[in-house]
Structure 1
Amino acid sequence: MSANQHVVQFSGGVGSFLTAVQVAERHGTAGMTLLIADTRVEDEDLWRFSEDASAFLGVPLTIVRDGRTPWQVFYDQRFLGNDRLAPCTKVLKQQPCRAWMETNAPPDRATAYVGIEPNMHDRNRIPAIVRNWQPWTVEFPLADGPDATKGELLAQVRHLGIRPPRLYELGFAHNNCGGACVRAGQRQWKHLLATLPDRYAHAEHEEEKLRALLGDVSILRDRRRGTTRPLPLRSLRARGAVAVSTQRDSRSELSARSDIGCSGLPCRRSAPSLKPGSAIASRVSTASPTSSPKRPKSRPTKGR
């Protein structure tokens, strides 16, 4: 292995890829490792993107595996991961990556890089990550740069000629767990049901099996009127179906009554008119790649 190793904790997301690009620019790729954990539930396009990133950088993926899925971890630990605590992250990602680091990247010769995105919310995670990765030195080159939105980061990826992972295009904030992350809230699970219903159904089925084993537990919680109770995915689906049905009934009633005026007589419909020359324009912002402050580059390291 190289005397100076640069190990990028590569998640298959936009943040870790752009971090790897910055590390390559500063240190070269001879001593770089793209370390990624396979949880066996990732969206198939994550692996397409990861291979594209690997080819772009000229660095092969180093894949580590526990061998189980998150659901199997929940069975083994008799605990259903949820939006407050998810043992799958530690078991399937952190522990395999740390085991690889202990064997292949001694702390006195290796630096770990984590793709924290450049916004205040994500930067707040840095102290905990530094503590968890001791005794290795951890750097966050993307977070050290100027603030950028997710859209701007995706634009940088496209600018480099790489198609971003499809989960971003489908409206998901992160490219992990195939969109079915137990740490996600109700909004993302509703979005999963709307966009990838088969994947939602699989998670719903697995949750029901764990509920049969563990009792009244759930991934999500329903917080209403000062009380908190389990909210199974089955109930969230039913709640959504009721909401859709109610909306349809309301629209039907409104349509049936929309021709009746206050006097009970039919109203005459008229289309809204626009003044000549007026227009309604939507504002489109074109993101251009942002650049982080220039830093002196070190001499590229030799191959491993």
Structure 2
Amino acid sequence: MAHKHVVMFSSGAGSWAAARRVVEQHGNENLYLVFSDVKGDNPSPHAGEDKDNYRFLRQAAWDLGGQLVWLTEGRDIWQVFRDDRFLGNTRLANCSKFLKQRPAREWLEAHCDPDETTVYVGIDWSEAHRLPAIERSYQPYKAVAPLCEPPYLDKEDILEQLRERGIKPPRLYDMGFAHANCGGFCVRSGQAQFKNLLKVMPERYAYHEQQEQALRNYLGKDVAILRDRRGGTTKPMTLTDFRQRVESEQINVDPYDIGGCGCFVEEENAA
């Protein structure tokens, strides 16, 4: 049986760079690019990935060769939050669990023999401390992070490589987002990313603001994605509260408070 090389393909630049290294080392004959879509059947342009990510996904997969495996659980993140009666946040992202981790794991177990399969994730050398947890979570499959190995690349290096191969990177990078996934909206994001989303995509911010309030009404609980830590105490801060404070310049946002994706890189995620 031929050894399979399975890349967890996020539609961002990092997973493409990881897959490119796999192709350079092993070819693409037994390459599988597994993409788990979080849009479900939601017709809104603000749900799921940014529209340009879907363009990039197809173009990047064509560049790499192999087989693009497109998985869809059927729900979007807000449907998951409602069904699970829990609003995802920086500490626990149940949207990742149900829409990315489980579909990818189920596909992996249905189609791949652990003894004949290597799984690849797109973290880089700056996140190498996460690798032991990743390796544990994918057992009995072997998990590898190609970008944690030399030559070491930063985001600009990767974007330049894309351009050299005639691939336009996802537009979200040019719009100031450190991560191009989930349309610039991720419950793991920090305040700086939410501020940027409000600035460059106010309609998308408004969509998620409305969805958060609808979920609060449904649950009857004071829950929110963000946290207000003023005065030495921590309490929920809704997207409405955050927007109003930004607009009235009543909040100082740390420009380095980006937060980040991690749908396939935490210990519980692959299981």
Q: Secondary structure at the match of 1:11?
A: coil
Kept in 2, the 8 Å contact 1:118–1:146? The answer is no
Q: Secondary structure at the match of 1:124?
A: helix
Kept in 1, the 8 Å contact 2:119–2:143? The answer is yes
Q: Secondary structure at the match of 2:125?
A: coil
TM-score, structure 1 as length reference: 0.77
1:165 aligns with 2:164: no
| Structure 2 residue aligned with 1:144 | 149
Q: Secondary structure at the match of 1:237?
A: helix
Q: Count the aligned residue pairs.
A: 241
- In structure 2, give the amino acid aligned to 1:200: Y
Q: Secondary structure at the match of 1:52?
A: helix
CA RMSD of aligned residues (A): 1.2
- In structure 1, give the amino acid aligned to 2:73: D
Q: 2:234 aligns with which of 228, 232, 246?
A: 228
| Structure 1 residue aligned with 2:202 | 197
Q: CA deviation at 1:30?
A: 0.6
Report sequence identity in percent: 49
1:110 aligns with 2:81: no
| Structure 1 residue aligned with 2:248 | 242
- In structure 2, give the amino acid aligned to 1:219: I
Q: Secondary structure at the match of 2:178?
A: coil
User: Separation in 2 of the partners of 1:198 and 1:60?
Assistant: 35
Kept in 2, the 8 Å contact 1:70–1:88? The answer is yes
1:74 aligns with 2:59: no
Kept in 1, the 8 Å contact 2:31–2:65? The answer is no
| Structure 1 residue aligned with 2:257 | none
Task: Give CA deviations for 1:28-54 in whole Å, capped at 9, x if unaligned.
Answer: 111110111011111111111111111
Q: Secondary structure at the match of 1:62?
A: strand
TM-score, structure 2 as length reference: 0.86
1:186 aligns with 2:167: no
Q: CA deviation at 1:59?
A: 2.4
Q: Would you identify which runs of 4 or more consecutive aligned residues in structure 1 move more than 4 Å?
A: none
Q: 2:135 aligns with which of 110, 130, 139?
A: 130
Q: Mapping of 1:1-304 within 5 angstroms?
A: 3-40=2-39, 41-119=48-126, 122-214=127-219, 215-243=221-249
| Structure 2 residue aligned with 1:282 | none
- In structure 2, give the amino acid aligned to 1:113: Y
Kept in 1, the 8 Å contact 2:124–2:146? The answer is no
User: Separation in 2 of the partners of 1:131 and 1:92?
Assistant: 21
Compare CA radii of gyration and give the structure with the larger one.
1
- In structure 1, give the amino acid aligned to 2:25: R
- In structure 2, give the amino acid aligned to 1:142: L
User: Separation in 1 of the partners of 2:226 and 2:218?
Assistant: 17
Kept in 1, the 8 Å contact 2:147–2:153? The answer is no
Structure 1, gaps ≥5 residues long: 245-304
Closer/same/farther in 2, CA of residues 118 and 155 from structure 1, 3 Å limit = farther
User: Separation in 2 of the partners of 1:159 and 1:139?
Assistant: 26
- In structure 2, give the amino acid aligned to 1:168: Y
User: Separation in 2 of the partners of 1:154 and 1:112?
Assistant: 23
Structure 1 range deviating more: 191-200 or 49-58: 49-58
Q: CA deviation at 1:146?
A: 3.6
Kept in 2, the 8 Å contact 1:12–1:50? The answer is yes
